[in-house]
């Protein structure tokens, strides 16, 4: 079992490849929890930056592929994100303090079922609560919807956004993207609106590989930023 604590990976051999990465790392029965503390890199570390692009916290599930992690006999480890680019050797520099309750990430659990089936909704909720416990998340609120269709839920999404903001959380934990909406354009709008408010979605069914919806979101972000950067044209009378 990997010892919980603060780890660092660094390289200062030359300016082009220099980087410093500090993470708090905790191993549970089913996952490794990485919390990014500090990241300094000019040209290297692109895959680390990609890993933490939406949140300072990343959960590496042991039963999923996509990344590689090797723990060494001295308790240090090598992490190879996306199994691409360069692997990073991490060594412990500080053991954990006694009380880490303040370091827990707070989440809102959101479960929805299209058909009236309370057992299905309860099953989703239990899965999400178990996942939160395994990953050391603090559940700030639980929202369950039974018999609610998979699209046209703007009012419900507005309510969910307001709950997350009131609870001061930055993550909504749900089973998969279809719980938000089954309509892709609507899903893109909802996820983008939550991102603009500093709130992300985390899914039980999420794979390490990027989904087509994620690619569309990236494209939307780029187009939106380009649109905002164009100066407004003043009309000439």
Give percent of the chain above pLDDT 90: 27
Q: Per-residue pLDDT for 210 more than 60? A: no
The answer for residues whose C-beta is within 8 angstroms of residue 38's C-beta and 6 or more apart is 20, 21, 22
Topology adopted by domain 104-223: Rossmann fold (3.40.50)
**pTM to 2 decimals?**
0.56
Question: What average pLDDT does this structure show over 61-66?
Answer: 82
Which stretch of 69-78, 91-100, 105-114 has the lowest confidence by average pLDDT?
91-100
**DSSP letter assigned to residue 115:** S
> How confident is the model over 65-85, as pLDDT tens digits?
789 999 998 889 999 999 988
- The residue that leads in pLDDT, 226 or 157, is 157
The CA distance from 135 to 217, in Å, is 26
- The pLDDT value given to residue 141: 93
pLDDT band at 139 (very low <50, low <70, confident <90, very high): very high
- The residue that leads in pLDDT, 118 or 93, is 93
Q: Domain map of the chain by residue range?
A: 5-94, 104-223
Mean pLDDT of the chain: 81
> How confident is the model over 38-58, as pLDDT tens digits?
999 877 788 898 888 877 888
Q: Per-residue pLDDT for 209 more than 50? A: no
Question: What average pLDDT does this structure show over 143-164?
Answer: 82
Q: Per-residue pLDDT for 214 more than 90? A: no
The answer for residues whose C-beta is within 8 angstroms of residue 103's C-beta and 6 or more apart is 24, 35
The CA distance from 58 to 34, in Å, is 5
């Amino acid at each position: 079992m990997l010892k919980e604590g603060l780890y660092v990976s660094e390289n200062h051999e030359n300016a082009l490849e220099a980087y410093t990465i500090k993470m708090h790392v905790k191993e549970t029965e089913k996952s490794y929890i990485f919390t990014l503390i500090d990241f300094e890199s000019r040209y290297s570390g692109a895959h680390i930056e990609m890993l933490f692009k939406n949140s300072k916290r990343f959960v590496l599930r042991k039963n999923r592929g996509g990344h590689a992690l090797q723990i060494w006999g001295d308790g240090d480890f090598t992490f190879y994100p996306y199994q691409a680019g360069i692997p990073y050797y991490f060594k412990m520099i500080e053991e954990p303090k006694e009380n880490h309750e303040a370091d827990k990430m707070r989440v809102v659990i959101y479960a929805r079922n299209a058909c009236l089936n309370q057992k299905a909704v309860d099953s989703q909720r239990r899965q999400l609560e178990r996942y939160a416990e395994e990953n050391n998340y603090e559940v700030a609120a639980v929202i369950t919807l039974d018999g609610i269709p998979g699209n046209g839920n703007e009012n419900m999404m507005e309510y969910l956004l307001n709950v997350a903001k009131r609870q001061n959380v930055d993550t909504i934990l749900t089973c998969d993207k279809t719980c938000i909406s089954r309509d892709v354009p609507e899903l893109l709008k909802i996820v983008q609106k939550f991102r603009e408010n500093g709130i992300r979605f985390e899914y039980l069914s999420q794979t390490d590989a990027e989904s087509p919806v994620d690619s569309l979101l990236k494209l939307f972000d780029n187009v939106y930023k380009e649109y905002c950067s164009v100066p407004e044209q003043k009309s000439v009378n």
